[in-house]
Chains A and B, each alone.
Chain A
Amino acid sequence: MNRRIVLATSSRILRQLRRDRRSLALVLLVPPVLLTLMKYAFEGQPQAFDRIGPPLVGLFPLTLMFVITSIAMLRERTSGTLERLMSMPLAKVDLLAGYGLAFAVVGTVQATVTSAVAFGLLGLETEGAVWLVVLLAIGNALLGMALGLFVSAFATSEFQAVQFMPAAILPQFLLAGLVVPREQMARPLEWLSALLPLTYAYDALALVAAGDLSGRLWLDVGVVAGCIVLALVLGAATLRRRTA
């Protein structure tokens, strides 16, 4: 890994994001607005808001980074800049680390803003530490990035790339235990959910929110970390120096 190239790449990606003011505004405003909506939608049952609020704060970055990365990577492929980079002295890991670093920064800002609104303004309650929620959110941003990077290889247009969000992420949201506890699902779905990375990302957040810092939390964190690495390795395999 080459530090100069990684830093050049991540600052280039951040510059591209910064230039797109509207997207940046959406990245920072959509999660707080959604949480505000939920707070008042759940006015009659505040304990429900306190249950799903913290996990949502931690899962927003995953969704967003997934979409942003898959489209950014697709553009990199279709604009020929990826081919150009692949003919330069840049290792695949440099590119991946550049993306990772840039999106970790964006994920941190997003998670911080969202947490400030949720735990500060909206009075969201949690048993655990807020900084742990933020930390998990950053990890989830990286998971979203890694998954987005991988699936972008299967999209040939931005239209397709956008569809991967409802196709690949929404089902995971439904099965993670956020909507319905996993024990109450049909058996096959419960098994299936055990294979999905978001299940562990959610579980870790739910545990932190409940103030439960047991070994299971670290198991969840380990699984998420493993999924990030696996998706990155698979993503790297889709970055080809030679194409037909």
Chain B
Amino acid sequence: MPSTDPATQPARAGIAESTPAAVQVRGLSVRRGGRLVLPGIDLDVRGGVVTGLLGPSGSGKTTLIRAIVGVQVIEGGTVQVLGEPAGSPGLRRRVAYVTQTPSVYGDLTVTENLRYFAGVLGAPPASVERAVEVTGLRQQAKQIAGSLSGGECSRASLAVALLGDPELIVLDEPTVGLDPALRRDLWRTFHDLAARGASLIVSTHVMDEADRCDELVLMREGRVAASAPPAALLEQTRTASIEDAFLALAASPTEAS
């Protein structure tokens, strides 16, 4: 339910909210290193779609993602994920998280990494093959992760999240350093996953990726500046590109809608 306070209410385009919210954030505040990084935000993330999380560097995307996954110490507010409080033991099987910096074992091969995490998740061996395939790592499957290129390594890290059958997949800048063809393939994969009922939250710096999202959340200085589908956002801001929309929102700090 959107808050009634106009100052904190994100721009909503009055979309029919039939799908239950995958994530419900209420009054979330997070302090990091003594500074209030998230000063109390409200947000609903629709289920079954790809939601893009955009915002300048340092705007709090990673912090919000960490709170959703339940690995962030929070100061106040609530975060409900798939109907349970974020970080609940029951969610550890249902939510997959890919950190911004790749997190795989550098001294194991791609396949060995995936086999291990599949073992922890109890995912079938076939899911390892599939994850390798989807992330385009067939050639690197037997390569030590520490010797992968930057983009390959982040794909290996992403592959781990595709093991098992997570209902919510949270990806922190998964497409950094990838070439356009691969990026397109991965976005296709994201939408395939969403079509099969999964919800995805994908943070990105790349504005042209915003068009590929079903929903957008724009963050600015720890606040949600806007939350709407791309088309609705363009309409509201009377702009032609998400980049312009973003700049328009940045220019009117007090009146987001």
Contact = CB atoms under 8 A, between A and B. Distances in A.
**Which of B70, B103, B105, B120 has the most CB atoms of chain A within a 10 A radius of its CB?**
B120
B90 to A, nearest CB: 9
Contacts of B70: 87, 241-242
A4 B115 CA distance: 12
B108 interface: yes
A88 B121 contact: yes
A243 B73 contact: yes
Nearest to B112: A15
A144 B121 CA distance: 29
Q: Is the interface of A mostly helix, strand, loop or mixed?
A: helix
B127 to A, nearest CB: 14
A241 B97 CA distance: 13
Contacts of A88: 92-93, 117, 120-121
B32 interface: yes
B97 A84 contact: yes
Interface residues of B, number: 32
Interface residues of A, number: 25
A19 interface: yes
A89 B93 contact: yes
A89 B97 CA distance: 12
B99 A80 contact: yes
A87 B71 contact: yes
Contacts of B116: 8-9, 12
**Which of A20, A80, A90 has the most CB atoms of chain B within a 10 A radius of its CB?**
A80
B193 interface: no
A162 to B, nearest CB: 18
Nearest to B93: A89
B89 A89 contact: yes
Given A4-B122, A8-B119, A19-B108, A80 B93 contact: no
Contacts of A12: 105, 108, 112, 116, 119
B56 interface: no
Interface in A84-111: 84-90
Given A88-B120, A90-B120, A16 B93 contact: no
Contacts of B112: 12, 15
A243 B71 CA distance: 6
Interface of A: 4-5, 7-9, 12, 15-16, 19-20, 79-81, 83-90, 241-244
Given A8-B120, A15-B112, A87-B92, 10 more contacts: A9-B116, A12-B105, A12-B112, A79-B105, A84-B117, A88-B92, A88-B93, A89-B122, A90-B120, A241-B71
6 contacts: A80-B99, A84-B103, A84-B160, A85-B120, A87-B92, A90-B92
In the complex, the 5 A-B pairs of residues with the closest C-beta atoms, listed nearest first: A8-B119, A80-B103, A89-B92, A12-B116, A84-B103
